[in-house]
């Protein structure tokens, strides 16, 4: 926790969900100053999501010491959540979960801080430059060629495998939470993430107020009240990969519960650009019932990495 957090009286947010307190409402929600926490000059808004606003900022401290690339991204809670008593703890939870991961395809976070003037908590992190996958899909409405899809899918799956091995569930995998940068995809926005078995020092938030699952990517069991799991992450990721492969969402963007009622799983067809040997694994990962979704992120990674028999032979591996 940053020292600034306790200065601002937000230390209680880390004690536990029921005891979370924050600054009084009268001082919360103040407009952001030009320079936040005496250090970051806000330059422009990068994006707004359901939970937060992300700005590009210049780290004046690093710049003063000669850092040639002092730009960072700062994430603040959206005003509506900033008014919530658990707001800062929610942001801290995102920080702690992401910081628990060390992977080249997961966004790198730097600090969790609170600006003492406006009393708003924020995360500082690497400034990603690239296209989110939803925007990439707008540029490729019929889906990506297999080679390109594979170059995104494998590192992304690897990042999710890593997160699951470290006991971290993302719980909000969707195209707008993955940025394609020059050196590959980056998974970000662990705002709805959870530690599979709790994490020392991390408040257990009463998340019922925050569970805003994204309907087109949330597994049916989540929509029916189950807790997020590695299996629900696999469903969301499989929807993203299917969409990247053929340009279309597997279940017409309907909530998974409705897709099940309408029997859409029976109508699933392999996207054209997906090699045949990958389809059976992806189809299993898209199962609407968790009991039939017998595919881990690691197994899906293995299936998509496999070189089919005929190609291995053609490449001379089987002679
Ligand atoms: N580190 C970063 N570098 C550059 N842009 C970023 C960064 N983090 C977030 N963004 C931009 O800000 C947008 C919103 O960020 P983020 O997804 O973290 O917010 P959110 O409110 O949690 O979103 P959601 O609606 O998915 O809950 C992203 O879609 C992206 O365009
Ligand atoms: Mg997001």
pLDDT of 48-70, one tens digit each?
988 899 999 999 999 999 999 99
pLDDT value, residue 204: 60
Q: Are 76 and 155 in contact (CB under 8 A)?
A: no
Structure tokens at 166: 């470290």
Name which CATH class applies to 131-309: mainly alpha
91 C-alpha to ligand 1 centroid (Å)? 13
Active site residue 115: no
Q: Are 96 and 201 in contact (CB under 8 A)?
A: yes
Residue 228, pLDDT above cutoff 60: yes
Measured from the alpha carbon of residue 212, the closest ligand is 1
pLDDT value, residue 26: 34
Who contacts 266 (Cβ-Cβ below 8 Å, separation ≥6)?
none
Give the whole-angstrom CA distance, residue 129 versus residue 126.
Answer: 9
Query: For 298-314, b where at least 16 C-beta lie within 10 A, e where not — what string?
Result: bbbbebbeeeeeeeeee
pLDDT-derived band at 29 (thresholds 50, 70, 90) equals: low
Q: Are 206 and 227 in contact (CB under 8 A)?
A: no
Within 10 angstroms of residue 287's Cβ, the number of other Cβ atoms is 22
Q: Which of 78, 85, 80, 93 is nearest to 18 (CA)?
A: 85
Q: Is 71 in the pocket of ligand 1 (CB under 6 A)?
A: no
30 annotated ligand-binding residue: no
Give the whole-angstrom CA distance, residue 169 versus residue 196.
Answer: 6
CATH T-level fold of 8-125: Phosphorylase Kinase; domain 1 (3.30.200)
pTM above 0.75, yes or no: yes
Domain spans of the chain? 8-125, 131-309
Using alpha carbons only, what angle is made at residue 63 by residues 60 and 65, rounded to the nearest 5 degrees? 115
Nearest CA residue ID for atom 9, ligand 1: 54
């Amino acid at each position: 926790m940053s020292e600034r957090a306790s200065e601002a009286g937000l230390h209680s947010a880390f004690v536990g969900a029921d005891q979370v307190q924050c600054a009084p409402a009268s001082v919360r929600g103040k407009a952001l100053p030009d320079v936040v926490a005496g250090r970051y000059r806000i330059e422009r808004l990068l994006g707004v999501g359901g939970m937060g606003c992300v700005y590009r900022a210049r780290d004046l401290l690093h710049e003063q010491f000669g850092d040639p690339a002092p730009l960072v991204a700062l994430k603040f809670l959206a005003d509506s959540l900033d008014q919530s008593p658990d707001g800062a703890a929610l942001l801290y939870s995102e920080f702690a979960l992401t910081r628990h991961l060390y992977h080249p395809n997961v966004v790198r976070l730097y600090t969790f801080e609170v600006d003492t003037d406006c009393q708003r908590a924020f995360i500082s992190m690497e400034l990603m430059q690239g296209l989110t996958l939803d925007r990439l899909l707008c540029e490729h409405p019929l889906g990506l060629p297999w080679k390109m899809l594979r170059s995104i899918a494998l590192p992304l799956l690897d990042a999710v495998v890593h997160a699951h091995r470290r006991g971290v569930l993302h719980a909000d995998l969707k195209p707008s939470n993955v940025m394609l940068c020059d050196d590959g995809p980056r998974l970000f926005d662990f705002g709805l993430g959870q530690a599979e078995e709790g994490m020392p020092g991390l408040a257990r938030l009463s998340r019922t107020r925050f569970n805003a699952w994204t309907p087109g990517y949330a597994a049916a069991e989540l929509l029916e009240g189950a807790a997020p799991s590695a299996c629900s992450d696999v469903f969301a990721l499989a929807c993203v990969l299917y969409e990247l492969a053929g340009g279309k969402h597997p279940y017409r963007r309907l909530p998974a519960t409705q897709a099940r009622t309408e029997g859409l799983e029976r109508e699933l067809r392999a996207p054209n650009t997906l090699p045949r040997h990958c389809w059976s694994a992806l189809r299993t990962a898209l199962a609407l019932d968790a009991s039939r979704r017998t595919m881990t992120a690691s197994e899906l990674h293995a299936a998509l990495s496999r070189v089919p028999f005929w190609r291995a032979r053609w490449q001379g591996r089987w002679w």
